[in-house]
Amino acid sequence: MHKNLHNVWGVPFWQDKTLLTSQASSGQKILSVKSTADRNFEVGGSCVLLSSEDLGLYDAGVIGVLEPSQITLEENLAHTWPSYAEVYPVLKARIKTGQTLNVITSRMVETGIEAVEEYDDGIVRNIGGADSFPDYKGFCVFDRMPNLKNGSQKFFHPYDSLFFLGKSYSMSHYTETALGLQANHLAPDKSEIQSILDFFDYQMARLGSFWIPTWQEDLRITQAFGAGATTLEIESVEFFDYWLGTKTGMHAVFMWPSGDPVCREIVASSSSTADPATITLDEPIGRVCSSQELPSLLASFLLFCRFDHDEIEMKYVTDMIGETDLSFRTILDEVPTGES
């Protein structure tokens, strides 16, 4: 801390380790590893082999060639490493100033280190993609179900209170209430962790726009239907009087427990006095829902939104399991309509 706090460090990505699958001998460049997928190994970046038995023993090198189960270094190894030795990608970073040592006893302290990437080595990081997410009307659907127990919903409808017109008079420039959603998402494996991080990267935080379900039973479907159905019977929620034609109620997503979501635009509905109440979709729903599946079918409003934060933090429960808190906010003035 006294001598090197301002310098550039190599900080292992502890959560991204992989293991050697065969011995790597001194003088060789090739590392046969279990997997490099969904980890922060990059050509031009560094990796390090660490010994869990001898804390002073390590081999660090720059990655010249990267394959799914093999790393080729630019320089030869200085030591021989046994099978199942740990290999970590390395973040070239500066440790933030203002680090704290918490004194426990006269011989023991603890600290937490925060490191920020140093952009001086010419590594070009690729923007993540969203190929694993479904598409609706030209925009991605973020269909990863959150931990609803830790979720919350906010309502935004700014208004002005004008007192000179009487005791009070409220006026709003908005025709509809915008929604804010916040929830915790659990990623059960490396692939899903990377999918969520790539999606956030692809949307460029607040800049991008996409769809999310409310994950609430906004519509309760009351009758089984076939794949060609365009009219669905619903429990009456005064859809015609309030939701029809609104940005919030314009699109819906239908989710079966064992299948991809089906997204449709709601173009009409029965009057609120009709029995049964119905909604009409812009095209056939394309999938059968039997009477046995009906209780498990979730029909939610599909909201057009963007992230409500510019940074994402993935908390690692283990090196293979992560969780993150995500916030979204609807953008009512940009909701797409018409054909995909």
Q: Report the pLDDT value the prediction gives residue 173, as an integer from 0 to 100.
A: 66
| pLDDT per residue as tens digits for the range 125-167 | 777 889 999 999 999 999 999 998 878 888 887 766 666 656 6
Which of the four pLDDT bands, split at 50, 70 and 90, describes residue 214?
very high
Q: What average pLDDT is seen over the chain?
A: 90
Rounded CA-CA distance 201/310 in Å is 10
| pLDDT per residue as tens digits for the range 25-49 | 999 999 999 999 999 999 989 999 9
From the list 225, 233, 231, the residue with the least C-alpha distance to 288 is 225
Q: Is the pLDDT of residue 114 over 60?
A: yes
Residues across the chain: 340
State how far the alpha carbon of 175 is from the alpha carbons of 162, 234, 245, 304, in Å. 18, 26, 12, 16
pTM reported for the whole predicted model:
0.86
Q: Report the pLDDT value the prediction gives residue 340, as an integer from 0 to 100.
A: 44
In 41-107, at which residue ranges do the beta strands (DSSP E only) sit?
A: 46-50, 58-67, 70-73, 86-95, 102-105
| pLDDT per residue as tens digits for the range 282-297 | 999 999 999 999 999 9
